Amino acid sequence: MREIDKRTQGPNEPLTSYIRVMRDYYDRLGVPYVTEHDILRRILRNMHPEYRQALQGKPIANLFELQQAAYSAQELVKSYRTYRPPPVTGSLKPSLACSTYGRDSTAEYSAHAVVDYNKHPPRLQYASFDPFTYYH
């Protein structure tokens, strides 16, 4: 039981594999008083935070539902990990490149930072108001 308590999901371990490993631990333990709900609770508590976040809001009542939800969670985590932000410079058409609105996009501004629009107002372009006038 101590080994089960310590076993967490590795950062690069697929959720489906982790579920299988945890079920195997409990099968080998062979304790009759451990319920499926206890196993489910332990898996959810010890899984990697990225996967826990990907499963947030999904109704999971048993191990079968967790196994089914694990596939979509793995796809979501994979998309987060492989996402590449758009290049800010080097575009053939600079007006179409991603703009940081003159902000320093390094340490001061992270992906979760709250932007103070009084200090850093977004630049509105004329095309934002009337795209037909801008191009014609």
Q: Are 42 and 4 spatial neighbours (Cβ–Cβ below 8 Å)?
A: yes
Cα–Cα–Cα angle for 29, 6, 11, nearest 5°? 115
Banded model confidence at residue 115, pLDDT cuts 50, 70, 90? low
Of 70, 49, 46, the C-alpha closest to 58 is 70
Can you give the residue ranges of every domain in the chain? 2-82, 87-136
- Cα–Cα dist 4/26, whole Å: 8
Banded model confidence at residue 118, pLDDT cuts 50, 70, 90? low
Q: Which CATH number fits domain 2-82: 1.10.1200, 2.30.30, 2.40.160, 1.10.3470?
A: 1.10.1200
For residue 68 the two structure tokens come to 């089914």
Count of CB atoms situated within 10 Å of the CB of 46: 16
For the chain, what is the mean pLDDT?
Answer: 79
Decide: pTM greater than 0.75.
no
**57 or 104, greater pLDDT:** 57
- Tell me the mean pLDDT in the region 38-51: 94
